[in-house]
Amino acid sequence: MAVASESVPRHIAIVMDGNGRWASKRFLPRIAGHKQGVEVLKRTVRSCVQRGVAVLTVFAFSSENWKRPADEVSGLMDIMVAALSRELNALKKDGVHLQFIGEREALSQRVQQCLVEAERETSSNRTLTLNVCFNYGGRWDIVQAAQALAAAGESITEASLSRRLSTFATGDPDLVVRTGGEMRMSNFLLWQAAYSELYFSDVLWPDFDETALDHAIQAYVSRERRFGMTSAQLPGSSNPRV
Question: Catalytic pick from 19, 65, 141, 239?
Answer: 65
19 binds ligand IPE (CB under 6 A): yes
Applying CB under 6 A, which part among 9-17, 88-96, 121-129, 219-227 lies near ligand IPE?
Answer: 9-17
Q: Which of 14, 17, 96, 102 binds Mg ion (CB under 5 A)?
A: 17
Active-site annotation holds for 65 = yes
Applying CB under 5 A, which part among 10-18, 34-42, 103-111, 207-215 lies near Mg ion?
Answer: 10-18
Q: Are 44 and 14 in contact (CB under 8 A)?
A: yes
129 binds ligand IPE (CB under 6 A): no
39 binds ligand IPE (CB under 6 A): no
User: In Å, how far are 35, 114, 128, 236 from 47, measured between CA atoms?
Assistant: 19, 25, 11, 30
Return residues touching ligand IPE (CB under 6 A).
15-21, 59-62, 65, 76, 180, 182, 184, 186
Which residues form the interface with Mg ion (CB under 5 A)? 17
Residues tagged active-site: 17, 65
